[in-house]
Chain A
Amino acid sequence: MAHLEVQNITKSFGTHHALDGVSFNVEKGDVVALIGPSGCGKTTALRIIMGLETATSGQVKVAGRPVSGCGHDRGMVFQHAELLPWRNTLSNIGYGLEMKGMKEPELSRTAMHYLELVGLTLAKDRRPHQLSGGMKQRVGIARALAIDPEVLLMDEPFGALDSQTREGLHGELLSIHAKTQKTIIFVTHDLDEAVMLADRVAVMHAGKISQIIPIELERPRLDMRAIRTSAEYSKKRTLIWEALHDAGVSAAA
């Protein structure tokens, strides 16, 4: 039994089918990227898994349990971090824990642990507007990880960052994954991000998964430079590019 099972989910808005039968399984500890052009339904799929939207039909199971609505078995990282501006870094990280019902002193201790994990100990007392974009998203990741979810869901988490910061965070996420072994699903439209981070890349087009491409790069992926120059990297990058391109051409035709 897979850790996360997405079974034939569809989503219609009136006559428009945002998702048209999407199914995939994710094994425990695997990282899956959903990639595709804007409007292909990748974000909708992620939001349904999170329970922010309900599927018109189909089912999502986490660790064998069907999900409906929110749940602390899934942790969400938002596109623009979405930190609460009146909370400092530590208390933003602790938000999910508070909602989970954790009390002091355990709350602060746990939040502190994740603060250290993302390397923001020095920014503990700062408010979000005093943090850079990259730091904000690290807080977003720590907040989602802090509730110790079965699955980490990330909606274009690095899309709004400049490329240097983005690559820094790729390294960070790879090392976090190496430490925590979390199951991760993330949405992206960055080819390099997909190949670098994922074990499998699901290429989506018009509400369907058109291809699932496995990335056979060893974990832990600590040497990003070596990975980038490897044959597997360029091979899979080309393969995904072609999959996206083919879908784009058939859409335009």
Chain B
Amino acid sequence: MTTDTEIQAPARVERRAGQASWTSTVPAWVITTISVAVATGLWEFFGRDVNPLLGTYPSAIIKAFFSMLQTGRLQDALIQSSQPFIVGYIVAAIVGIPVGLLLGRYRILESALGIYVTAGYATPLIALVPLLILWFGLGFMVKAVVVFLLSFFPICINTWFGVKAVPKTMIEVGTAFCASQTAIMRGIILPATIPYIMAGLRLGIGKAVIGIVIAEFLTAISGLGGIIITSANSFRTAEMFVPVILIMVLAVALTALVGWLEKYVAPWQSEITGHDSV
């Protein structure tokens, strides 16, 4: 009996190891590529049968993409949209991160102002756009403000909660070695909060994208959002999908950029967690 189990046991281990090697040797990007190719192929195949007013398919979108590139319409729209997007998002980061740090660090500020940040995060801010138009007009300013408002709250709230998650004993190290408040903030709390800040910046990109598109729908119709709404109104569905997909690709790229930035500013983080952030 004992010899039987002794002989069988290694065989079973080997088989399990063999199975693991098949799934773990194929690189992740290959699996992703195959998945995207299959999905696109299915869309192309079934999409061709759909009424062009109601749906479209990949090759039609690509054709529309190149014709819009040729007329220069797409480039102009991209530049128009990206300016308020970049300004709004960067201001949201510049204001949101320090405000979040202060809210997390000082109880008085947290009790006095935290409620507004929580409320602002939960409010459907898009509903305020008509009012914002009255304040800021229909042009660049109002779009930047909408982007700012939507991305500010996730950035700020994540930073704030990140500070709350810093272990008390880690701050006590600073206290025990007589670090000043500024030194504790810069030398302990800020680096310890970086993963949360980066998560906030990533969520902020998603919100900022929604912000710019909606702002372009509701204010002066322009930019990529403008193309979406005018194409949809004239039933040019393939044309409508060009900016939608372009925005999606850019948003994914920006999110990846934040991930890269995290590895650059906080290299210890991916070492500790043992996996790369997407």
Contacts and interface: CB of A to CB of B under 8 A. Distances in A.
Interface in B85-115: none
A84 B176 contact: no
Contacts of B77: none
Q: Bin chain A's interface residue count.
A: 20 to 34
Determine chain A's interface SS by DSSP, over half rule.
loop
A129 B268 contact: yes
Interface string B167-186: 00110111111110001000
Given A70-B176, A70-B177, A76-B176, A99 B169 contact: no
Interface in A57-99: 70-72, 76, 78-80, 82, 84-86, 95-96, 99
Contacts of A127: 268, 271
A245 interface: no
Nearest to A97: B177
Contacts of B268: 85-86, 127, 129
Interface string B152-178: 000000000000000001101111111
Interface in A184-206: none
Given A95-B177, A99-B178, A129 B271 contact: yes
A71 B188 CA distance: 19
Interface in A82-127: 82, 84-86, 95-96, 99-100, 127
Contact of B170 (A52, A72, A79, A84): A84
B272 A70 contact: no
Contacts of B272: 85, 129
B266 interface: yes
B47 interface: no
Contact of A80 (B169, B174, B176, B266): B169
B173 A82 contact: yes
A130 B176 CA distance: 25
B176 A52 contact: yes
A71 B177 CA distance: 7
A102 B188 CA distance: 18
B266 A86 contact: yes
Contacts, number: 54
B178 A82 contact: no
A18 B187 CA distance: 33
A86 B265 CA distance: 10
A135 interface: no
Given A52-B172, A78-B169, A82-B172, A96 B271 contact: no
Nearest to A83: B173
Contacts of A85: 192, 268, 272
A50 B169 contact: no
A79 to B, nearest CB: 8
Interface in B106-156: none
Residue from A79, A80, A99 whose CB has the most chain B CB atoms within 10 Å:
A99
A45 B187 CA distance: 28
Interface string B206-225: 00000000000000000000
Interface string B264-278: 001010011000000
Nearest to A92: B173
Contact of A78 (B173, B192, B266, B271): B173
Contacts of B271: 127, 129-130
A81 B170 CA distance: 10
Contacts of A79: 169
B175 A70 contact: yes
Contact of A96 (B169, B170, B177, B192): B177
13 contacts: A50-B176, A51-B176, A76-B173, A82-B169, A82-B172, A85-B192, A85-B268, A85-B272, A86-B191, A86-B266, A99-B177, A100-B177, A129-B271
Given A52-B175, A82-B172, A85-B192, 5 more contacts: A52-B176, A78-B169, A82-B173, A86-B191, A99-B177
Interface of B: 169-170, 172-179, 183, 187-188, 191-192, 266, 268, 271-272
